[in-house]
Each structure stands twice: as structure tokens, then as C-alpha cells.
Structure 1
Amino acid sequence: MILRRALILSLLALAACGSPGSPPPAPPGVLFPAAFGDSDPVSFKGRTPAAYPVHGIDVARFQNDIDWNTARRAGVNFAFIKATEGGDLKDINFDSHWQGAGQAAVKRGAYHFYYFCTPPEDQARWFIRNVPKTGGMLPPVLDMEWNPFSPTCAHVRPPAADVRDQMRRWLRVVEAHYGQRPIIYTTPKFYRENDLGRFRGYDFWLRTTAKTPAETYPGQTWRFWQYSATGIVPGIDGDVDLNAFSGSRADWQNWLATHALP
């Protein structure tokens, strides 16, 4: 992503002015162009992230004290916020991120990091318990990737057919509660090893930070592209994941009209 230094500097200066140090919220519905940097930029071939007009981020406990008004004016038009893991873990920053994004009129959605050591129904109920139905919220996200860090679950890797069955069970419970068909997030390795291309009728959010989705997931349609884990965004300390929406500004508005919670 091209670093637009002048705009970033002006946004940072704006964040330092006034009380309590943040610009006033921008009007709801206004889309801002991405004024992001990247601490480890990649030169993509084909249709690059810059070709897409609507950008956003995803955040978790690693991001603290986000100035959401500044971030929104820098091009954070949407945010996926980590809510839960497994059947008993809640992200410590979920509530503050959820509230802050909402106050800044950032379109927000919540995601669940899946564990293979807990029944999918239990995980779905845990997500529902912790993520309130909120008008305008984006569809829930099921984050499917292998977890090498869990002390108890890192080596539990069911066969592909079992993986897909567990996913369907979680998706059914969550869709019934929110009235929204969830989005599936995944990584290249997990997608390939579990044949997730078999899922039809779901929007995909795809991670690929070295190549375009067309190169990494041939033939797979997608709605969101996580294209960097090293983004630099005014209002956020440290690196943050960057994402692009698949269509035009009009496509974004049309997608919200049919997918956001009324």
C-alpha cells in the first residue's frame, strides 16, 4: 500500500489537537480513502489492494487504546473485532473496541477463533453470549485456521470432512441467532487442506499477504481480503491487519443493505 505521508502526518496532527485529543466523529455513511502505511510492504502483481476503494482493519487484544475517530478518517471504514476463542475465552479488548468503533460510526463485526477441542455448539453459544445483537453490525465471522500455540489443542487436527461438519454446525447455530449468514475467514494452508471451496453461499474473508486472492485461491470468490499484517494506521499504535472489500463504493453500500443487521 502506498504510504501517503502528507495525509498521514496531517491526520496525526489532527489527533493531537483539541480535547480529549481526537477529532470529532465523522458523519455516518461517509467513506474515507485509505491513508495507510505498511512497515513491511509487498509489491503485489495483478489487481493490488490499492485498486479497491473500501478498506478496513481487524483488531484484537494486541491493539490498545485505539483512537477510532482518527482511524476512521484515515480510511478505516470497517473493522472486524475479535470476540471469542473456543468455548470459554473472551478477548480482553472486545468490549472497548466494540464500543469505540460504534461511537466512531465504523462498520463493525465480531469474529470467533475456532478450537477443535470444544464442540461447535458450545463455541457458538459462547460467541452468542458475548456478542450483542447490534443494529448495523456486520455478519459474524468464523475464523478457521490451524492453531499452533494452544497448549491443549495445537495438535488436534481432524480430517477435512470432520472439519467441515464442525464448521456447518457452528454456522447454523450462529446464523439462527443473528439472522445473518456468517462470513468464513481462512488462511491458504487451512483452505487447501480442508477443501473449503466446497462451501457454497457463504462470503469468504481470505488471508493472503504475499499474493493476490486470485493467485492464492484460484477460482474462489471472496468478499474481504486481508492483505497485510503490518499495516500502519493513524490512531493505532503498532502494526495492524489491513483489509479490502471486493467491490466498488456502490457495491459496499448494496452489500451493507442486504447483510448488515437492521
Structure 2
Amino acid sequence: MRVFWVLGVVAMLAGCGGGGGAPVSKEPVPVGQVTAPNFSDADPHPWAGRKPANYPVHGIDISRFQTSIDWQTARANGVNFAFIKATEGGDLADPMFRDHWNGAGRAGVQRGAYHFWYHCRPAAEQARWFIKHVPKGGLPPVLDMEWTPFSPTCTIRKPGAEIRAEAAEFMNIIAAHYGQRPILYTTPDFYVENEMWRLSGMEFWLRAVTAHPGERYEGQHWTFWQYTGTGLIPGIQGEVDINVFAGGEGAWADWLATRQQ
């Protein structure tokens, strides 16, 4: 997600929003072409300094809660990539994964799958569950690790060293299968409390909805930044998470060339 923004787009991101900007087109977009974001936000943050508008390549992450997506419209209005929830723990599969995966692919949206970590199951079991449900091809797999205080079955908080060891085990299994090392998604509190920066060779996708990742994760290199959970995009019913890629269009093309499966 990330400058060829127009002033109107910047204004929409800063405004109150109510369903995204007016759809620009439903014409097919050539594969690889970056489309500019035509978004708004139901609960916008007053960004100052380094802001999402500084990055031209935007995309989304979705799950079963996004039940209706016109992928062609979303693609034309700035959705260049999508990370789609596939699995959770060792026995839950997202019922919308296949529909979202196929829809994104048909529209030329760069697509990847993510696994939501369950702190009460072994790493190897969770990795096997993900592999069972996610085909090869697409963006690198993602491991989503965060605290789960509202889980009805697992609110345990293991020591940071144990969590990092489990993350490494999961990633090694996934990398061996897909030929690409996964990306780690996490939140500010989880990152700090478990010292996730100690994981070597890690590529990060970071959540930061009130400040730039450089302020929330000081000194940490990142590839993707989730900057809102209340985005409004033409073609997508309801609110959605929006993300940006760390570089410009050229860097995006270079990253895809080396990090796609």
C-alpha cells in the first residue's frame, strides 16, 4: 500500500468517511499496475508527520467478517494486495478464505494468507493445519501473533522466550513447505512484552493506528503497516483493515519479484 496521491484522496483519508470515495471505475486493472487509494475512514486519525498518505501501495487484510467484496471495484479503487485469514490454531478454518482467495486472484489483487496464532496449541500442529488449507502461490504466508485476552478458551501468556521459540518453529516448517519465510504480524504491546525484535531474519508487518511504526516500534524495519481498522473502500461492505507497503512502486515490484511464492 503506498507518492502519487491526489489532494482529493488525501482529504478523504482525513475526513470522517462513510463508504469510501466515489468508485473511480470497474474496468479491469492490468496485473502489476498500482492503483491509487480512493478510501475514507469511519474513525480517522489526524495524521501528522509520517503518514499513510506518504506511501502509494495500499492493500487490505480480511477474514470471514468481510462477507461481500466486489473485488474488481476494490482493485480499481486502490486495493493492490490482500492478506486473507485462512486458519486459526489447529482446528479452525476461516469459512470465507476460499471465496476471498479466488475473488482476489481473478481481480489481479496480489494475495496472501495468514494464520492466527492460538497460544494453547503446539507450533507444529498449527503449521500443519495452515499447510492443509492454503495452496502454494501468492505472497509469503503470514503468522499473526498477538495477545488473546478475550478468547473463550485460551488467555494464557507464556514467557517471551517461549513465544519466540514457538514462532521460529512455526516459521521454519512453513518456510520449508512454501519456499518462502513467513512474515510476522504483531501489535505494539505483544512486540515489546515478548521482545520480538530478538527473532533473527524476521520480516515484520506492524499494527500502528495512532502513530507511524517508527514511533511505536523504534528502530524496527517493517514491510507492511496496518494503519486503520475502520477503513471504508468502494466495493467492500462495512469497515476493513487497511495497510501500506513500506516503499514506492518500484520497491513494490522488486519485493514481489523476490518474495512471491
Q: TM-score, normalised by structure 1?
A: 0.91
The answer for the alignment partner of 2:93 in structure 1 is 90
Q: Percent identity?
A: 55
CA contact (8 A) 2:23 2:234 kept: no
CA contact (8 A) 2:146 2:186 kept: yes
CA contact (8 A) 2:31 2:108 kept: yes
CA contact (8 A) 1:45 1:212 kept: no
Given the alignment of the two structures, is residue 171 of structure 1 paired with residue 171 of structure 2, yes or no? yes
1:133-173 Cα distance to aligned partner (Å, 9 max, x none): 12xx000000000012221112x111010000100110000
CA contact (8 A) 1:47 1:212 kept: yes
Given the alignment of the two structures, is residue 3 of structure 1 paired with residue 12 of structure 2, yes or no? yes
Structure 2 unaligned blocks of 5 or more: 1-9
Instruction: Provide the aligned length of Structure 1 versus Structure 2.
Output: 247
More deviation in 145-154 or 232-241? 145-154
List 4+ stretches of structure 1 deviating above 3 A: none
Letter in 1 for 2:254: N
CA contact (8 A) 1:25 1:103 kept: no
Letter in 2 for 1:145: E
Superposition RMSD on alpha carbons, in Å?
1.4
CA contact (8 A) 2:41 2:232 kept: yes
Instruction: Give the drift of 1:128.
Output: 0.3
The answer for the alignment partner of 1:142 in structure 2 is 143
Instruction: Give the drift of 1:37.
Output: 0.4
Letter in 2 for 1:248: G
SS in 1 for 2:12: coil
Structure 1 unaligned blocks of 5 or more: 15-22
The answer for the alignment partner of 2:4 in structure 1 is none
Instruction: Give the drift of 1:24.
Output: 4.2
CA distance in 2 between counterparts of 1:144 and 1:237 reads 26
CA contact (8 A) 1:56 1:76 kept: yes
The answer for the alignment partner of 1:246 in structure 2 is 246
CA distance in 1 between counterparts of 2:84 and 2:53 reads 23
SS in 1 for 2:185: strand
CA contact (8 A) 2:86 2:113 kept: yes
CA distance in 2 between counterparts of 1:190 and 1:133 reads 29
CA distance in 1 between counterparts of 2:11 and 2:223 reads 22
The answer for the alignment partner of 2:187 in structure 1 is 187
CA contact (8 A) 2:23 2:73 kept: no
Letter in 1 for 2:106: Q
Q: TM-score, normalised by structure 2?
A: 0.92
Letter in 2 for 1:107: Q
SS in 2 for 1:3: helix
CA contact (8 A) 1:27 1:105 kept: yes
Instruction: Give the drift of 1:8.
Output: 2.4
CA contact (8 A) 2:35 2:80 kept: yes
1:198-230 Cα distance to aligned partner (Å, 9 max, x none): 123221000000111011000000000000000
CA distance in 2 between counterparts of 1:106 and 1:202 reads 24
Given the alignment of the two structures, is residue 202 of structure 1 paired with residue 205 of structure 2, yes or no? no
Letter in 2 for 1:8: G
CA contact (8 A) 1:59 1:80 kept: yes
CA contact (8 A) 1:107 1:138 kept: yes
